[in-house]
Structure 1
Amino acid sequence: MSEHLLLVDDEPGLRDAVQAYLEDSGFTVTAASNATQAWELLEQQRPDLVITDVMMPQVDGYEFLAKLREDERFSYLPVVFLTARGMKRDRVQGYDAGCDAYLSKPFDPDELVAIIKNLLRRYQQAAAISEPDIADLAGQIAELRSLLVKRGTPLNPNPIKLDLTPREQSVLDLVVQGLMNKEIASQLQTSVRNIEKYVSRLFIKTNTSSRTELVRFALENGLAP
């Protein structure tokens, strides 16, 4: 079964061309002409990844992304921004808003496909971590936390500042404590599946690929108590 993508762009020509290219690349693509229509489609079927234009009438890409991140059902979804605004400050604003990748128009469609495949692969790998694996890591995480705390945190003289949602921060704090997904889900009164999604997002935002790396990153940059 191919991955399902949601494409949002108010330019019909570009939207149709990108949809056709992505479908030729093996993806299932649903297209919307604006953020309102995109939200209606999201309610009907949750995609694996969202590709959205930034400059759209009524509701722009930043507002659309903010709404996604505020909704627990969609807060984990990887999001790629497509925009004609390619200045550095625009890219920074996009990443600060919570997008996972930022591609300026005009762009190479092969690059877009490569970005999509990379994001999907990383999210799938992160979600594939099993509870037994997490249980085995709990001791390592506790030991690492103890070691780094003894040495003093944050260890990085220029700690990285991340725009984490309150729920992402709560999950990160509990991961640093060495809790398993079931324990985190119980404390936060949500499902294990949701916790897996939040952990996946934390991996993406911190550019880490394991809980041990995530804990080290959090402690070294003062992102957890």
Structure 2
Amino acid sequence: MSDSATILLVDDEPSIRESVQAYLEYSGDLTVKVASNATDAWQVLEKTIPDVIISDIMMPEVDGYEFLEKLRNDSRFEGIPVIFLTARGMTSDRIKGYHSGCDAYLPKPFDPEELEAIVKNLLERRKTNEKTATDSVKLEEIAQEIRELKQQLGQQQNTLITTPPPIKIDLTPREQSVLDLVAEGLMNKEIAARLETSVRNVEKYVSRLFSKTGTNSRTELVRFALKHGLTE
């Protein structure tokens, strides 16, 4: 894992805090913040938002379940993966932990190598989820831009006395279908599902459309197609 990540370890046993911190920081790509109880952990959270939280369950005053509930009810921390690290190993305790919203449950005594594997797995999963969410936002922005463009062009055409004659570009039936769906604001994955083909094939058709129309983006393609009567 190339990117550095921050871990918050909450445990009231000094030996556990020291050993886990030393082990996880050994590789150099993890930084471990430590706290002896939930109250101290919250003070750390106010200053640093970690990538993963490892928390004991049996702690004085505020136990792990209460700490996790507070995390899940705070928009700043609700998405942080949480690993329960505890001496409790009963099935009922694990079930309660998962129902409380923890992402992994590792009973003591545990293998530090297993803990490290769980931590890195959660980090990779979170990175993937964040990338997917970012890509979805970008795709929706493109779709919205295309919808607005179609609306603007429609308004302009209603105010013009004359419009340029349609330009003749030879498109295959499948290219025409892809162009029409792009103009609707659909993304490649949605087009593939609609046409019952692969995303890779859709990408090829879109590339051909760029080449045939001399455009470089979906927005330019839709603008060109609407202007020259290639789609409605």
SS state at 2:55 partner: strand
Structure 2, unpaired ranges of 5+? 144-186, 195-232
Partner of 1:94: 97
Q: Deviation string for 1:63-108 (max 9, x for gaps)?
A: 0000000000000000000010001101000000000000000000
1:56 corresponds to which of 56, 59, 63: 59
Identity %: 58
Partner of 2:7: 5
SS state at 1:128 partner: helix
1:77 corresponds to which of 75, 80, 88: 80
Whole-angstrom CA distance in 1 between matches of 2:57 and 2:27: 24
SS state at 1:29 partner: strand
Whole-angstrom CA distance in 1 between matches of 2:16 and 2:117: 18
Whole-angstrom CA distance in 2 between matches of 1:137 and 1:36: 48
User: Size of the alignment, in residue pairs?
Assistant: 143
Partner of 1:21: 23
2:68 corresponds to which of 43, 65, 77: 65
Aligned counterparts, 1:168-179, within 5 A: none
Runs of 4+ in 1 over 3 A off after TM superposition: 132-135, 137-140
Instruction: Tell me: higher relative CO, structure 1 or 2? Use CA pairs within 8 A at least 6 residues apart.
Output: 1
**CA shift at 1:15, angstroms?**
1.0
**CA shift at 1:14, angstroms?**
1.2
Aligned counterparts, 1:66-145, within 5 A: 66-129=69-132, 130=135, 131-133=137-139, 136=187, 139=190
**CA shift at 1:132, angstroms?**
4.0
Whole-angstrom CA distance in 2 between matches of 1:7 and 1:102: 14
Structure 1, unpaired ranges of 5+? 144-225
Cα RMSD over matched residues?
2.0
**CA shift at 1:2, angstroms?**
1.2
Whole-angstrom CA distance in 2 between matches of 1:58 and 1:88: 24
